[in-house]
Structure 1
Amino acid sequence: MQRRTFQQFLSAVAFLSPALGHTQTRAVVRAGDQKGGLRALLEAAGELKGLPYDIQWTEFPAAAPLAEALNADAVDFGPIGDAPLLFSLAAGSRVKAFAVNRSDPYGTAILVAPNSPLKDASSLKGKSVATNRGSIGHFVTLKALASVGLKAEDISLRFLAPPDAKLALTQGSVDAWATWEPYTALAETGGHARVLVNGRNLWSGLSFLAATDNALRDKRNQLQDLQQRIVRAQAWATQHPAEFSATLARIIGIPAEAARLQFERRQTRWQSIDTQVVADQQRTADFYLDAGLIKQKLDVRATFDTGLPLAA
């Protein structure tokens, strides 16, 4: 009797083992996020339901620390603007962009205090500007200066993270702050700043999903699935701006007014990585080379993975 019972036990274990093994090997995608925007988008649209894998979220205040995490293989992928991605790649990061979107660049801007006497980009000469080194704020600052015949040496750049830069501006220790959404909308709606120079005609509006080489090799199916969920979520959010803005405001802890303003004016559109995207990215890389922010010419074609196309 005892022998038959033991055999039955072994049979039961053998039957359960495949299910147990499946649970133990469930994939985990380590997602980096900037100010909670990607997670809020997916959550609001219901695209985090029924995932066949797990997501481990890590939030970053800006692209620079997210890029550092990618370079250290601490996260698998994350959203990052074109300029900070190039800055990271030039430093030797083993990552590639596998998805792209374009947004209205207005909110990537140089901000000043509401009562500032500064009127335009030319009035920045001799002034101090806070931003993240290698960020799209840094890029737009240099482009704004170039548009009026000025160089980086004509201003005092102070490299600060967004919270510190905002504090520096409000306390008057810098004259301007170059930043991006949602910080721009938050500063505007809060009455802390006004836009001196917006990013239109200065920045391409390109942002990417970038992943490590390891993740693109080992978690390719999961990244492809996430990309499709993000595209569907963007379409949903465009049709439901109030619902999405409320979720974004809750997740990142900002007023719904600021969340909605930054979302509606960005008008984000996901697209294929086409020749125009590559050409625009090459121009940005060449500008960074001319500005001395990267030391060697970068051929951006090698920085894309075009093997995860958008669904038709």
Structure 2
Amino acid sequence: MRTPRTALPRRHRLVTALLTAVALVAVGGVSACGDGSAAAGGDKGPLRIGYQRFGGLSLVKARNAAPDVEWSLFESGPALTEALKAGSIDIGQVGEAPPVFAAAAKIPFSVIGTSAPVPQGEAVLVKDDSGYRTFADLRGRTVALNKGSNVHWLLVRLLAAHKMTLDDINVKYLKPAEGRPAFDNGQVDAWIIWDPYFALAEQPGVRVLADATGLASNREYVLAAPDAVQNRSDDIRAFLRTYRTVTDWGIANPDERARTLAPELKIAQDVTERALLRSAKPLSPVTPAVGDELQAIADGFVALKLVPGPVDIRGRVDGRFNEVFQ
């Protein structure tokens, strides 16, 4: 037989409810105090870094030189700038064309660092038995490249140098992972690509038709989200110092650099070393001359109607971190 429930006196019920409410308020107060302390301490989470499979940032990651940051890998610069647009990264590293396409798309960012020129780090590849001897021989042929990447600007410069236009060739926009099989299988006549994909494709029967020497600087650029520049400048400055230190170490120790980076890139050490010897350069400040160079690239793309204009990329250059690179 069940024992009948005895009703609590009204006053007792009120006291119990009051004590429960006080306990809940106390718990909520502790949580709020914890949140407030974190905010007051400036705990904004890890700095979020976007990087590509090759480049200076890959070496920082491979050496675990910045253990407190959050890394995100991107196949190309345009994909990385989309992450900036989405607000999912704070800093990223790209080539010279992606900032222009991103600015044309109204993606907010600042250019806060660059590298010395790397013209040998991108090239036009053809088959050795193709008979092509100059870029002009590709008139009427199919040329593959990644749209909006550094190699897109190299294409523009090559066309101008040989008094050709986009109408003189068939352009096929392919991501690096798509471009290599298309080139290997003869679906395209030439492939314009950058390291380390360039070095990976340097196999018997493949020839470099032209690189960017005398045509394009092919610099790397460091981009940052405006919110991060405004609110996390100390964190960014500290990371950039690490970035420069690791870059300088790699240049001074090329053999160890290749041994360190090859597992990160998942490619053979000799291929890694070949790519690094021509493509790994010191970091540099963003000077007015660098801004002018970027603006000339933007104006070139606008003139060909490859991006809507006008594009003011010069105004995106922010030199507040220049002392790190000097």
TM-score category by the smaller chain?
Answer: 0.7 to 0.9
* Partner of residue 310, structure 2: 297
Residues 240-275 of structure 1 deviation map (CA, whole Å, 9 limit, x = unaligned): 111111222101111111111111112512112112
* Partner of residue 252, structure 1: 265
- The answer as to whether partners of 2:302 and 2:310 remain within 8 angstroms in 1 is yes
Q: 1:57 to 1:195 in 2, by over 3 A?
A: same
Q: 1:41 to 1:90 in 2, by over 3 A?
A: same
SS of aligned partner of 1:82: coil
* Partner of residue 113, structure 1: 127
C-alpha displacement of 1:205 = 2.6
- The answer as to whether partners of 1:228 and 1:310 remain within 8 angstroms in 2 is no
Q: 1:152 to 1:281 in 2, by over 3 A?
A: same
Distance 2:70 2:215 in 1: 35
C-alpha displacement of 1:69 = 1.1
- Tell me how large the CA RMSD over aligned residues is: 2.5
> Which stretches in structure 2 are left out of the alignment for 5+ residues?
1-29
* Partner of residue 205, structure 1: 218
* Partner of residue 21, structure 2: none
Higher Rg: 2
Residues 156-192 of structure 1 deviation map (CA, whole Å, 9 limit, x = unaligned): 111110010111000000001111111111111x436
- The answer as to whether partners of 1:82 and 1:281 remain within 8 angstroms in 2 is yes
* Partner of residue 35, structure 1: 53
* Partner of residue 8, structure 2: none
- The answer as to whether partners of 1:32 and 1:57 remain within 8 angstroms in 2 is yes
- The answer as to whether partners of 1:170 and 1:192 remain within 8 angstroms in 2 is no
* Partner of residue 290, structure 2: 277
Point out the more displaced range, 190-199 or 80-89: 190-199
SS of aligned partner of 2:163: coil
> Which of these residues, 193, 198, 205, is aligned with residue 179 of structure 1?
193
- The answer as to whether partners of 2:57 and 2:243 remain within 8 angstroms in 1 is no
TM-score by length of 2: 0.83
**Letter of the 1:301 counterpart:** R
Identity of aligned residues (%): 27
TM-score by length of 1: 0.87
Point out the more displaced range, 40-49 or 169-178: 40-49
* Partner of residue 7, structure 1: none
SS of aligned partner of 1:109: strand
Distance 1:108 1:241 in 2: 20
Indicate yes or no: 2:286 matched with 1:268.
Answer: no
C-alpha displacement of 1:39 = 4.2
Residues 6-47 of structure 1 deviation map (CA, whole Å, 9 limit, x = unaligned): xxxxxxx9xxx79x9599936311111111544432145563
Distance 2:263 2:255 in 1: 12
SS of aligned partner of 1:206: coil
* Partner of residue 25, structure 1: 43
* Partner of residue 69, structure 1: 83
Q: 1:207 to 1:32 in 2, by over 3 A?
A: same
Output aligned runs, 1:2-13, within 5 Å.
none
Distance 1:72 1:47 in 2: 26
Q: 1:38 to 1:267 in 2, by over 3 A?
A: closer
* Partner of residue 94, structure 2: 80
- The answer as to whether partners of 2:99 and 2:313 remain within 8 angstroms in 1 is no
- The answer as to whether partners of 2:126 and 2:208 remain within 8 angstroms in 1 is yes
**Letter of the 2:178 counterpart:** D
SS of aligned partner of 2:47: strand
Distance 2:205 2:232 in 1: 43
**Letter of the 2:282 counterpart:** R
> Which stretches in structure 1 are left out of the alignment for 5+ residues?
1-12
- The answer as to whether partners of 2:122 and 2:193 remain within 8 angstroms in 1 is yes
Residues 187-212 of structure 1 deviation map (CA, whole Å, 9 limit, x = unaligned): 11x43632111011111232211011
> Which of these residues, 169, 176, 183, is aligned with residue 183 of structure 2?
169
* Partner of residue 251, structure 2: 238
SS of aligned partner of 2:147: coil
- The answer as to whether partners of 1:37 and 1:248 remain within 8 angstroms in 2 is no
